[in-house]
Amino acid sequence: MHLPTLVTLCDFVATFAFALVGARIAAGKGMDFGGIAMVAAVSSISGGTLRNLFLLHQPPWIVNAWLLLPILLGVLLTITFRKVEPVGRFLLALDTFGLAVATASSTQFALNQGVNPVVAVILGLIGGIAGGLFRDLLAQIPPVVLHRETIGTSCLLGSATIVALRECHVQKIIAVLIGGAVVVIFRELSIHFEWNLPRVS
Amino acid sequence: MHLPTLVTLCDFVATFAFALVGARIAAGKGMDFGGIAMVAAVSSISGGTLRNLFLLHQPPWIVNAWLLLPILLGVLLTITFRKVEPVGRFLLALDTFGLAVATASSTQFALNQGVNPVVAVILGLIGGIAGGLFRDLLAQIPPVVLHRETIGTSCLLGSATIVALRECHVQKIIAVLIGGAVVVIFRELSIHFEWNLPRVS
Amino acid sequence: MHLPTLVTLCDFVATFAFALVGARIAAGKGMDFGGIAMVAAVSSISGGTLRNLFLLHQPPWIVNAWLLLPILLGVLLTITFRKVEPVGRFLLALDTFGLAVATASSTQFALNQGVNPVVAVILGLIGGIAGGLFRDLLAQIPPVVLHRETIGTSCLLGSATIVALRECHVQKIIAVLIGGAVVVIFRELSIHFEWNLPRVS
């Protein structure tokens, strides 16, 4: 399989994962089919959309409309199987994979635009978490990423890893793979050991 | 009357309609005059603003500051007549007209930029519904467009109609008029017969 | 001290002020360290980010990554001293200074881009208030700027003053200083005399 094909496949799986989680949460909040589709779409595309707009590029789904297909698939699956129960173990794993792909591709995209390394780390973080943040705001539930779990920390570690490796002239593909693995491993460990960031109060 | 004048007139009436509904909802939530003005502005300009930013254009109200005038008018009317009761039949009709204009002009704008037909349909939808979505998020009420009614469906059908007709080389003005009519008719039918999109649970 | 240095210093203090207020509010809502950092960042950079995107420029923190430093400082201070009590008199004064700087620099930035004077006033307002609005939406509390106080009015008066003075060919630095002073004075007066904008109901 060629590398570009693999990258595109990863992007599609990540988009599908985010859409599926978004659709599930919207369905659980009692939204109608339109609301489910909209929350699914916002969950999966706002990270890349925001990242691209900040760098004065058109959103990914305008550049490549095929990205809308995995969203449609996620919505149809949710509606067809009338899934409303909380996100289970399998879907959580899919979501983590999506997080890794979104973070790695956002960081790499930012580096390609020649931004400052610190900015690339932040844009990688935004690409990873913005979708989930907007999803929760639309569903009017307290955003997971602000209150508990270690989604943001995982993405930040992953994007910082990629930027650091690229600064040390490690090959692009290797840096991205290691960075993505950091996201997955840290996220899985934090779920397993119930790590949480501390609070002030 | 020249066509550009008619188009501008429609845009102004649509902006006014969205501002009036937004101001009314903000007033009903007990916001002060500043909050009313801000919700009115966000209701009427975020659809076009988002559409333009996605296509890397400046927002419509920066390009043509006169668009701020109907917003001011809507705010002044709401404040002067101290309107807080729920949106009535006349205002709902005005809002539907605004929906049709916003959807049609957004779809046409997207097509003019040479985007993929599917993307043009989505941008037409965003132009139609984003204002109402942000309005409800600012007012911190469950967004109408996510939970019930058929606002999104009407806009989607309208923008899909325009794109389909334009793909069949139907004249621009005719495609836009038919698409706008589809929005109005489907929306009025769904209000009259109390159609709602189904839910999962 | 050179003028550019002074301007940069003001920007840093304003960013720090907004970050500190944002971090305090997030901490008070029981968010974890990640949520505190994110709300602090959104509070301090969304005004300038939105203003720049509307004018098709990259966000300020992408152009100058040093702007992320005062945010980090605000977050670290909040976490270290475990501050959760409501914003006090000193922090409120700092916030007012931030408001004046953000409004003045946004208005001036807009004028430099050659936009219509009315649009410059609106962009000055957006630069001043967007951070606080998004902060409250993330914290899921009723946005202060929509419901009470006179933050929006102060910013609007300040940006209108700058635009009016610049239209009368008053020197740039003097217009900005007077406009900033208008924001501070009107805000302080409205806090002291408990002025509020009226409501409809």
Cα angle: B55, vertex B126, C62; to 5 degrees: 45
Q: pLDDT value at position C10?
A: 87
Instruction: Name the residue among C51, C34, C18 with its Cα closest to residue C121.
Output: C51
Gap between the Cα atoms of C29 and C178, Å rounded: 37
Residue with more model confidence, C150 or B184: B184
Whether B199 sits inside 8 A of A31 (CB atoms) is yes
Q: Are C31 and C39 in contact (CB under 8 A)?
A: yes
The 10s digit of each residue's pLDDT in B7-16 is 788 889 999 9
Q: Are A158 and A183 in contact (CB under 8 A)?
A: yes
Q: Does C119 touch chain B (CB under 8 A)?
A: yes
Which of C137, C140, C199 faces B32 most closely, judged by CB atoms? C199
Q: pLDDT value at position C2?
A: 60
What would the mean pLDDT of A15-32 be, rounded to a whole number?
93
Whether pLDDT at C97 is above 80: yes
Q: pLDDT value at position A201?
A: 66
What would the mean pLDDT of C99-120 be, rounded to a whole number?
96
Mean of the per-residue pLDDT values of chain C: 91
This model of the complex carries an ipTM of 0.92
Going from the C-alpha of C66 to that of each of C49, C71, C74, C101, the distances in angstroms are 15, 10, 14, 17
Instruction: Name the residue among C124, A57, A36, A193 with its Cα closest to residue B152.
Output: A36
3-state helix, strand, coil in chain A (%, to 5): 80, 0, 20
Instruction: Name the burial class of residue C139, with classes exposed (0-12), middle (13-18) and buried (19+) by CB atoms within 10 angstroms of its CB.
Output: buried
Residues in a beta bridge with A32: B199
What would the mean pLDDT of A35-44 be, rounded to a whole number?
96
Residues in a beta bridge with B97: none
pTM: 0.94
pLDDT band at residue C89 using 50, 70 and 90 as cut-offs: confident
The 10s digit of each residue's pLDDT in A155-171 is 999 999 999 999 999 99
DSSP state of C32: B
Which of C56, C140, C152 faces B56 most closely, judged by CB atoms? C56
Q: Are B112 and B175 in contact (CB under 8 A)?
A: no
Alpha helix segments (H runs only) across chain C: 3-28, 33-54, 60-63, 68-80, 89-112, 117-138, 144-147, 151-167, 172-192
Extract long-range pairs of B189-195: CB within 8 Å, 24+ residues apart: B190/B149, B190/B150, B190/B153, B190/B154, B191/B92, B191/B149, B195/B150
Gap between the Cα atoms of B34 and B40, Å rounded: 10
Gap between the Cα atoms of B177 and B6, Å rounded: 12
pLDDT band at residue B84 using 50, 70 and 90 as cut-offs: low
What would the mean pLDDT of C128-149 be, rounded to a whole number?
91
What would the mean pLDDT of B176-192 be, rounded to a whole number?
94
Q: pLDDT value at position B92?
A: 87
The 10s digit of each residue's pLDDT in A115-124 is 999 999 999 9
Question: Best mutation site among B39, B42, B62 for testing chain C: the one with the most C CBs within 10 Å?
Answer: B62
Whether B59 sits inside 8 A of C54 (CB atoms) is yes
DSSP per-residue letters across B112-156: HTT--HHHHHHHHHHHHHHHHHHHHHHTTS--HHHHSSSHHHHHH
The 10s digit of each residue's pLDDT in B16-34 is 999 999 999 999 998 999 9
Q: Does A53 touch chain C (CB under 8 A)?
A: yes
Residue with more model confidence, C193 or A154: A154
Whether pLDDT at B1 is above 70: no
